[in-house]
Structure 1
Amino acid sequence: MKSVKRVMAAVAFVLCLGIVETEVKASQLSKGSVGQEVEYVQSVLKKLGYFHLDPTGYYGPITTEAVKQFQKDFNIEMVGVVGPETTNMLYNVTMMAHIVNGEARGESYKGQVAVAAVILNRVESNEFPNTISNVVFQKNAFTAVNDGQYKLEPDTSAYQAVKDAFLGWDPTYGSLYYYNPDLVTDHWIFTRQVTNEIGNHHFAY
């Protein structure tokens, strides 16, 4: 089994280059663990609103409680330990935050949540791949992946938008598509039923 350090480095590498990764395996991080991998987890948890200090790299009681709250909200057993399932979810959340940042940076917060919701709606639809990574990296699915904006570092707002989408907020009412009508090059999208207009984006089935 890979060490956590190698896994976290691989995650960063994957996110940077936009390589498809369907599963991240890691050994456990728990109370008493120290190092860059702990600091990485704390930094993500902080952006999500679970960890309220600057990352320390030490896995103590505060980190344990933050992990438990993350696990509760993302339907993972609340054990306070970062194992493979929690690592994979942190990876998925980070991946979605990169898409939200690249696709909806400058949009309202509601518009950012809407983009995150579309990703989750696609995962649930039989018209799209059934994992977040495969939805995100499906060929030509997201402009941000194609033009490199995916590589930009997401801000806290992007992470919070992903969290709210996971918690059930869907301003798109189940939409599978979104587009800026002023920038459309493929007019096929106009055949889809529009469910909502948020900022510069139309959302549609």
Structure 2
Amino acid sequence: MSDRCRSGDPGKSPGRPLGLRGQRKQRTRAAIREAALRLFESQGYAQTTVEQIAREAGVSHTTFFRYFVSKEQMVIADDLDDLREETLAAIPPGLGRFDLLRELIRAYYRLAMADPWASSSVRARLITSEPTLRVANQIEADAAISQATEFFARYLGVEADDRRLQVFVAAAGGVMFHIACGVPDMSDDGVLDHLLDAVDLLEAGLPI
């Protein structure tokens, strides 16, 4: 599901305490993102170069690419992969597919809302308004669907290429991404309820 939408300190993630080196790296990532957002606001996303972002952040062009592979990925990436892996590992066994889906939605929503960059409304507006970012985000969404299929297959004990599983994950993922992308502020208290209501409708066979 999408990981949006409060503004705040870009790149400061929840999780285990970081050492001094980790804290410095986190501060540098945040400084680069903050500088980028200032430039995007003042001159536009497409008009802003990596060189300008690096200069605004007080780092070298090379340093930028040590932290981010591209300008697009600087915006798209949410730095929550490790926490998501921990979340998956902590899910108790024995859940049915719809209860498993609900568990994932609740857990991923909490992760996103606890992270200022993942939940930044400024970032969310960029992703939905800039064509190159929309394309990059769709690629990320497709990858997330593939990863979810593999996880559900392992958890439920079925083959990843099972047609029923693929349809289930594609339907659930499509609904979740559609809702998330259509909400201007994911921190709204009703968004999680909206997502879970959608799961209820899927489980009920999509009644109208």
TM-score by length of 1: 0.27
Higher share of residues assigned strand: 1
More helix, by proportion:
2
TM-score (norm 2): 0.26
Give 1 or 2 for the bigger CA radius of gyration.
2
Structure with the larger RCO, 1 or 2 (CA within 8 Å, 6+ apart)? 2
